[in-house]
Amino acid sequence: MFQLDDAFLQDIGLGAMPDDQKQAFLQHIYSELELRVGTKLSEGLSDDQMSEFEAFIDRDEERVNTWFTQHLPNYAEQQDYQQLQNSAPETATALDILSEYGSLKWLEVNRPDYRQVVAAELDTLKDEIIKNKDTILG
């Protein structure tokens, strides 16, 4: 789909940017995209919904289990969960895997349009960069 790399910079007309600034600029774009996507996705979400999300972030076992009990009690039988479990690193705990899986499922429940949001915000960001590329390079 997309990767933030030199080719991306070429694509948006910033290929002439000095090499030593490319990586930093890409990092900035990535961070900016994260914030914009997060801002957009969090619009309309209540404190309680965001709190649910934080439970996965915080690996809050009790709240993670509660969420699965309410929303996806048979998660262990899900093919994608099993694949996630199988491909997880050895150091990952059961709670790590469950939290990772839960955060994605939480997204599907609360913001099923998240892919479109990322795509839209990315397009906006690219447009802005292209529009301002001369100044950025200046």
Partner 1 sequence: METAVLERSPEVATLDVLEAQLVDARRAQAQVDDKRLHSSRSQETEVERLTREAYAQAQTAYGTELLADQLQEAESEAERNSLVAQYLIDEFRALQEERETPTNQDLFQRAKRLGRSALRATGVWLSRGNRGTQIVKSALVTGVASVFFGALGGGIAAAGGMAAVRYGKAYASGISKDVETHHSSATELTEALNTHEYETVHAVFEHAQAVLQSEREAHIDATQERNTKARRQALGAMVVGAVIGTTAGSLIHYGSDLWTTAAHAQEIGGTHVATGLADGVHETTGTVVLPHQPAGDVAGSHATIGEVDTVSHESTGTVVIQEHETAGTVEGSTGAQSAETTGLVGGVHETSGKVELDDVETGYTTTGEVEGMHETVGTIEGVYATTGTIEGVHETAGTIDGTETPEVLVDRGVFTVEAGNGLIRENIQWAEASGYDVPNSVMEQLHHAEVEQFGAKGIIDLQNYEQDIYMHGTDVRINAPDEAVWREGVVDFKVQWLSEHGYHPDGGDITADGTMAEVDSDVEVGDTSIETTTEVPSVQSGEGINSFVARNYDYILTPEQSIQLGERLHAEGYAYSNNDFQDAYGNPYGFRETGKIDVGMDAIIQDMVQHGTVEVAAHEPTFSAEDWSRIEGMLAKAADRDMLSDLAAYDQPLMDGVGERLQNMYYADGSPVVSFTDGHWSFNDSEHMLPQDALDAIHVYLNENDTVAEKIQRLTKML
Q: Does 60 bind partner 1 (CB under 8 A)?
A: no
Between residue 8 and residue 47, which ones bind partner 1 under the rule CB under 8 A?
8-11, 13, 15-16, 18-21, 23-43, 47
Nearest CB to partner 1, comparing residues 69 and 113: 113
Q: How far is the CB of 127 from partner 1 (least distance, A)?
A: 10
Between residue 89 and residue 118, which ones bind partner 1 under the rule CB under 8 A?
89, 91-92, 96-97, 99-100, 103-104, 107-108, 111, 114-115, 117-118
Q: Does 66 bind partner 1 (CB under 8 A)?
A: no
Q: Does 64 bind partner 1 (CB under 8 A)?
A: no
Cβ neighbors of 61 (< 8 A, separation 6 or more) are 95
Lookup result for tokens 């529009």: 131
Lookup result for tokens 């209540």: 46
**Count of H-run helices and E-run strands, the chain:** 8, 0
Give the separation between CA 98 and CA 104, rounded to whole angstroms. 10
Identity (one letter) of the amino acid at 41? L
